[in-house]
Structure 1
């Protein structure tokens, strides 16, 4: 789980750097703010879940992190498909979101299958 703490923080830092390089167009600024907000929330929600008082609270907070990851991926897809931004940096961010989404889904499923609250 400590690896996830580092990965979610790295994702936020990489998005911060990426957004700083977006064009200053209205689209770049608006979508940039959205992706920045959602990507930086992922790690915050993950950190909160680490101090949950129950498995149900843990799943709930992981679910919030998952929602923010899905939103981050959505904004990144819009940047790519609208051609506001492209390139290997964007692809790397999208791949990392995909990987983190798969990990969080597996974590949530595991806690559900454990049969505990």
Structure 2
């Protein structure tokens, strides 16, 4: 069985997001944006997992499109956390490329699936 790259990367990304949430909530006492990024950042992988057992191609495209929307939302929260100085430049530089990679992969999957 060949590896499912998006499944693996979205899970690893979710683990990183959970750890970011813990740091933001417990150490920086930021509770609103941290909760938002936790929800959207972990939802990416959850929807990828749902898409694995989609009932049809349309269902697959729907689940992956939801993942894409959640990835875009996560990218927004990263930008906002950085702009409001809850994320340092180093932290932002660690997360932003991974977020952009999620977006690129999901755009590619959705686009290819629709063709």
**Fold shared per TM-score above 0.5:** yes
Runs of 4 or more above 4 Å deviation: none
Q: For residues 49 and 20 of structure 2, what CA distance do their matches in structure 1 show? A: 23
Q: Which runs of 5+ in 2 are unaligned?
A: none
User: SS where residue 87 of structure 2 aligns?
Assistant: coil
User: SS where residue 31 of structure 2 aligns?
Assistant: helix
> Which residue of 82, 89, 93 corresponds with 1:91?
93
Q: For residues 31 and 111 of structure 1, what CA distance do their matches in structure 2 show? A: 32
Q: Match for residue 8 of structure 1?
A: 10
Q: What is the alpha-carbon root mean square deviation over aligned residues?
A: 1.2
Matches within 5 A, 1:1-117: 2-22=4-24, 23-24=28-29, 28-113=30-115
Asked if structure 2 preserves the Cα contact closer than 8 Å seen for 1:18 and 1:89, the reply is: no
Q: Which runs of 5+ in 1 are unaligned?
A: none
Q: Following TM superposition, by how much is the alpha carbon of 1:88 offset from its aligned partner in structure 2, in angstroms?
A: 2.3
